[in-house]
A and B are shown apart, each in its own frame.
Chain A
Amino acid sequence: MSEPREPEFRIAFDGVSLKRGDRVIFDGLSCGFPRGRVSVVLGGSGAGKSTLIRMIGGLQRPDSGVVRVADEDITRYSERELFKVRDRIGMLFQGGALLDSMTVAENVALPLREHTRLSEKDIEAEVDRRLVAVGLSDAGQLYPRELSGGMSRRAALARAIVMDPEILLVDEPFSGLDPINVRRIEALLVDLNRHLDLTLIVTSHHMASSIRMADRLVFMVDGIAIAGPPDELLKNSDERIVEFLVAESDSFAEHHELDVTPLMDRRTLPDRRKKS
């Protein structure tokens, strides 16, 4: 189900295809992400959620089709031109992607040191402000290896927003976190969206928080996207979505070890569990 491109879309995919080897990842995928809203991208592992986000950042180029970010077609952009686009984008990677040779404060300060002419004092103040915002005011002098999963994700979030981006891409912010940290990150992201008018794009397979956060859901199924407001989409009895939800609630159970016993009894493990 592709939808007409609406003017308020800040980011739009149009007929994007991508193959990796023989595996089709995107097969004419079209969808849009509205400005100032929270869009959550859902899909099984290997459905290309991360690839979708990396494409918006220009880290991955499609084989064909067009990716528009702020009405610029970035598909043929050179690295140098992409830098200009990326100045408007913050990205929170799954593992945090903090540089582990630097302290947390240096990590957060890095974009400021690279791209602004702020004095060392102003940079320090700005870094402190961001660290306080994510609740890490004491962790500035720690190295990333000394942080817990939730802390390093919050530190990475501080770094992603330090340049006040208008678009924030967040890859799997909840994976591997305990419920308290999931809530915490979720609240932070929603706060950012509300207060800074960020266009937020989140990939997740954490159903509960996704539905709580999302202004718009994007289901990735079979290389295409099915998008819409959550209530509408979930009421919609589109076969593929139902299939996905059933499958996903399964893997959700696996993922969170809610009920392990049926898994042990299964003779054949579902394909999904193969690491892709």
Chain B
Amino acid sequence: MKFTLIENLGYRSLVVVEHLGRIAQFALRITACLLVPPYRFRRLVGDVYDAGVLSLPVVCLSGAVVGGTLSLLGYTTLVRFGAEEALGALVGLAVIRELGPVLTALLVTGRAGSAFAAEIATMVTTEQLDGLRMMSVDPVDFVVSPKALALLIAMPLLAGLFAVFALMGGYGIAVGLLGVDGGSFMASMEGSVKFWNDVIGSFSKAITFGALTGLIATYRGYISEPTAAGVSAATTGTVVIGSVTILVFDFFLNGFWGV
């Protein structure tokens, strides 16, 4: 009785380790399915539409708003030091290095990742995946791998669009509202953003997050219980686990690239 807590901890740790192992296996299976014919190009296009195009409004709008907010906040601080010319650098670096990939990943996990998880979980519940198996079609190949790849493809594209919209939002607020000189805003941004460090770093982050979201969403949907509760658990699980994983990986990637 007195060991219950520790036992619980032990059990839960084991469950986590087991899931990690299974996710790794699952990732290998997806990779194998993507590399070996048949290539599901048509299904991939459909899933890129779901993951990418349908996420566009929320990503672009959030980007513009976040950029504007950064400009407002940054200006009030910088203007005290008479350094409002550095506003472009602040917005550019913050958006490209950090906020672009991370916020996009969180938004896409919430919108597209959860939708994919729910879709796959529903297919488990309604025996559609078993139906595919009985037709000698591997559901990982037919359903899962195009979705995982679609998120991997859509994420960097969306992150890029998020960044551009954030910069436009930031520029609009800085120049239109706060009266910062447009030329010096852009000059300070262009002067401070470095290709290898910042843009490539941002791009790699977005790709990493895309792979993680794709993997977590599809895995969580694939292992769900065949019930309505299973579908909702898969959706929630994807958002929670996906978001936390993205933030944790972001921390380590920042350490890796040296902030």
User: Would A and B touch once assembled, by the CB under 8 A criterion?
Assistant: yes
In angstroms, Cα B134 to Cα A91, docked, is 7
B128 within 8 A of A: yes
Contact of A87 among B123, B133, B136 (CB under 8 A): B136
Other A-B pairs beyond A86-B134, A91-B131, A111-B136, 19, CB < 8 Å: A57-B133, A57-B134, A59-B133, A59-B134, A79-B133, A79-B138, A86-B135, A86-B136, A89-B134, A90-B134, A91-B134, A94-B127, A97-B126, A97-B127, A97-B128, A98-B128, A100-B128, A114-B137, A156-B131
Q: Which residues of B contact A91 (CB under 8 A)?
A: 131, 134
Among A40-62, those with CB < 8 Å from B are: 54, 57, 59
* Known A79-B138, A101-B46; contact A86-B133, beta-carbon cutoff 8 A: yes
Size of the chain B interface, CB-CB below 8 angstroms = 15
In angstroms, Cα B19 to Cα A113, docked, is 35
* Known A95-B126, A97-B126, A101-B46; contact A114-B135, beta-carbon cutoff 8 A: yes
B131 A54 Cβ-Cβ under 8 A: no
Interface of A is mostly: mixed
Size of the chain A interface, CB-CB below 8 angstroms = 27
B136 A93 Cβ-Cβ under 8 A: no
Q: Which residues of A contact B46 (CB under 8 A)?
A: 101
B130 A54 Cβ-Cβ under 8 A: yes
27 sampled A-B residue pairs with Cβ under 8 A:
A54-B130, A57-B133, A57-B134, A79-B133, A83-B138, A84-B136, A86-B133, A86-B135, A87-B136, A91-B134, A93-B131, A95-B126, A95-B127, A97-B126, A97-B128, A97-B131, A98-B131, A99-B128, A100-B126, A100-B128, A110-B135, A110-B137, A111-B135, A114-B136, A114-B137, A115-B136, A163-B135
In angstroms, Cα B230 to Cα A193, docked, is 37
Sorted nearest first, the 7 A-B pairs with minimum C-beta distance are: A97-B131, A83-B136, A91-B134, A97-B127, A93-B127, A111-B135, A86-B136
What's the nearest-Cβ distance from chain B to residue A105, in Å?
15
Contact of B131 among A82, A99, A114 (CB under 8 A): A99
Q: Which residues of B contact A115 (CB under 8 A)?
A: 136
Among B80-124, those with CB < 8 Å from A are: 123
What's the nearest-Cβ distance from chain A to residue B183, in Å?
50
What's the nearest-Cβ distance from chain B to residue A80, in Å?
9
What's the nearest-Cβ distance from chain A to residue B158, in Å?
22
In angstroms, Cα B135 to Cα A87, docked, is 7
